[in-house]
């Protein structure tokens, strides 16, 4: 029996990852189970040790633990090491190895949407772990310029310095959006009910520039602010489900050595939504 799961906070109870992974495990004929774990930040080291103690094959890591989990691990691989952020832990016979499949997951979701990032300009809102993964994916894909705008300027500046992006204050986003081909919301806010200041920003975004695609990394939010702007701008809109499926597929491969078709992950999400 392969035991898997996802570490998050209380929000993990709404995650679609368990339903998606359990559907794919069943489709693949694997005996396994993927569970959501709401972990208090202070107990993250104990929970991580529990992977080893209980013999879990691995877990995903989500908000707010992606960076905090790093010191609890034995090793980091690839993008996880570059970003200092982990979304996938693999238990290799008692050695806990951190990976980051968000970077490739975002790149794959963009490619699926037919968006070529090479030579294009992008604006990323937010400066957390998800924003880091998006900026790295865009610079790796050869984006000409990536601006990062957020409410906590020192965090934005640190992200920009680490990943060769340009830092901006959140309010500058309203004008910067006219300069870009792609807008990505990597904050945790997608509706007016969640933040009046981001709602005001979304309402004030300039239209008429070259932006042709808007990506919101969140999903399942009613009255989506970023979808509303995409409509006014005449741009396409993609929510976070595509990236969720792509990163999940790469995590599944790390745990099982099997890379099922993307359609199985999307079908699992469809059933759960």
Q: What are the catalytic residues?
A: 66
88 binds ligand ATR (CB under 6 A): no
Q: Report the residue number, 102 or 212, with the smaller CB distance to ligand ATR.
A: 102
28 binds ligand ATR (CB under 6 A): no
Q: Report the residue number, 22 or 191, with the smaller CB distance to ligand ATR.
A: 191
Number of shown-chain residues binding ligand ATR (CB under 6 A): 20
Contact (Cβ atoms closer than 8 angstroms) between residue 23 and residue 268: yes
Among 16, 25, 66, 211, binds ligand ATR (CB under 6 A): 66
Q: Report the residue number, 57 or 246, with the smaller CB distance to ligand ATR.
A: 246
Instruction: Tell whether the torsion through CA atoms of 190, 269, 273 and 59 is positive or negative.
Output: negative
Contact (Cβ atoms closer than 8 angstroms) between residue 8 and residue 236: no
Task: Please report how close the Cβ of residue 114 comes to ligand ATR at its closest, in angstroms.
Answer: 25
Token output for 176: 């910067």
Biggest CA–CA distance in the chain, Å, is: 56
189 binds ligand ATR (CB under 6 A): yes
Q: Report the residue number, 86 or 96, with the smaller CB distance to ligand ATR.
A: 86
Which residue, chain included where needed, has tokens 């680490």?
162
Task: Please report how close the Cβ of residue 32 comes to ligand ATR at its closest, in angstroms.
Answer: 26
Instruction: Tell whether the torsion through CA atoms of 129, 192, 12 and 257 is positive or negative.
Output: negative
Among 104, 131, 248, 269, binds ligand ATR (CB under 6 A): 131
State how far the Cα of 262 lies from the Cα of 129, in Å rounded to an integer: 24
């Amino acid at each position: 029996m392969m035991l898997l799961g996802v570490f998050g906070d209380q929000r993990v109870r709404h995650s679609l990852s368990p339903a998606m992974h359990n559907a794919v495990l069943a489709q693949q004929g694997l005996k396994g189970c993927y569970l959501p774990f709401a972990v208090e930040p202070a107990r993250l080291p104990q929970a991580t040790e529990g992977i080893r103690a209980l013999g879990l094959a691995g877990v995903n890591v989500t908000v707010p633990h992606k960076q905090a989990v790093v010191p609890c691990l034995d090793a980091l691989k690839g993008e996880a090491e570059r970003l200092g952020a982990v979304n996938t832990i693999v238990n290799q016979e008692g050695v806990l190895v951190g990976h980051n499949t968000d970077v490739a997951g975002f790149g794959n979701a963009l490619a699926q949407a037919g968006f070529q990032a090479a030579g294009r300009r992008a604006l990323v809102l937010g400066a957390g772990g998800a924003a880091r993964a998006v900026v790295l994916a865009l610079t790796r894909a050869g984006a000409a310029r990536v601006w990062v705008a957020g409410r906590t300027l020192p965090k934005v500046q640190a992200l920009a310095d680490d990943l060769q992006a340009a830092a901006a204050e959140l309010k500058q986003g309203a004008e910067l959006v006219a300069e870009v081909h792609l807008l990505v919301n990597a904050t945790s806010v997608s509706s007016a009910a969640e933040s009046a200041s981001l709602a005001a920003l979304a309402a004030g975004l300039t239209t008429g520039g070259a932006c042709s695609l808007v990506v919101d990394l969140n999903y399942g939010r009613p009255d989506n602010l970023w979808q509303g702007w995409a409509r006014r701008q005449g741009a396409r809109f993609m929510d976070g489900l595509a990236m969720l499926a792509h990163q999940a597929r790469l995590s599944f491969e790390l745990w099982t050595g099997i890379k099922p078709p993307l359609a199985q992950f999307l079908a699992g999400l469809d059933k759960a939504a």
